[in-house]
Amino acid sequence: MSRFAVITADTDFEHRVRLAAAALPGSLQYFQANFLPASIEDVFDQLVGEPIEVLVLGPDLRSEDVFTFAAAVDARHPHVSVIYAAQPTPELALSAMRSGVRDIVIPAADAEALRSHLEQAASAAASRLAVAPVPSTLDAESGGSHGRIIAVMSPKGGVGKTTIATNIAVGLGKIAPMSVVIVDLDLQFGDVASGLMLNPERTIVDAVGGPMDSLSLKTYLSAHPTNIYALCAPRNPADADRISPDQVAELVKHLAVEFQYVVIDTSPGLGEHVLATLDQATDVVWVCGMDIPSVRGLKSGLEILNELHMLPEHRHVVLNMADKRAGISVQDVEATLGVPVDIVLPRSRSLPLSTNRGVPALQDGLRDPAVKGLRKLVERFKPQWDSREHKQLHRRAVFQ
Per-position DSSP letters for 102-138, written without gaps between them? -EEE-TT--HHHHHHHHHHHHHHHHHHHHHS---GGG
* Domain ranges, ordered by start, for the chain: 2-142, 148-390
Q: Please tell me the distance from the alpha carbon of residue 39 to that of residue 66, in angstroms, as a whole number.
A: 12
Q: How many residues does the chain have?
A: 400
Establish whether domains 2-142 and 148-390 are of one fold: yes
Show pLDDT as tens, one digit a residue, over the chain (400 residues).
458 999 999 999 999 999 999 989 888 999 988 999 988 988 988 888 777 899 999 999 999 999 999 999 999 999 999 999 999 899 999 999 899 999 999 999 999 999 999 999 999 888 887 765 444 433 333 344 578 999 999 988 889 999 999 999 999 999 888 889 999 999 999 999 999 999 999 999 999 988 888 778 889 999 999 999 999 999 999 999 999 999 999 999 999 988 989 999 999 988 999 999 999 999 999 999 989 999 999 999 999 998 888 888 789 999 999 988 888 899 999 999 999 999 999 998 888 888 889 999 999 877 889 999 999 999 999 876 644 443 333 433 444 3
> CA 12, 215, 256, 230: dihedral to nearest 10 degrees?
70
CATH number of 148-390: 3.40.50.300
Q: Please tell me the distance from the alpha carbon of residue 27 to that of residue 122, in angstroms, as a whole number.
A: 12
Shortest CA distance to 343 belongs to which of 395, 265, 269, 268?
395
Name the amino acid, one letter, at 64. Answer: E
Element (DSSP H or E) covering residue 372: helix 369-379
List the beta strands (DSSP E) in 238-362: 261-266, 283-289, 314-322, 343-346
The pTM for the full model equals: 0.77
Bridge-based pairing state of the strands 228-231 and 222-224: antiparallel
Contact 338, 305 (CB under 8 A): no
Classified by CATH at the fold level, domain 2-142 comes out as: Rossmann fold (3.40.50)
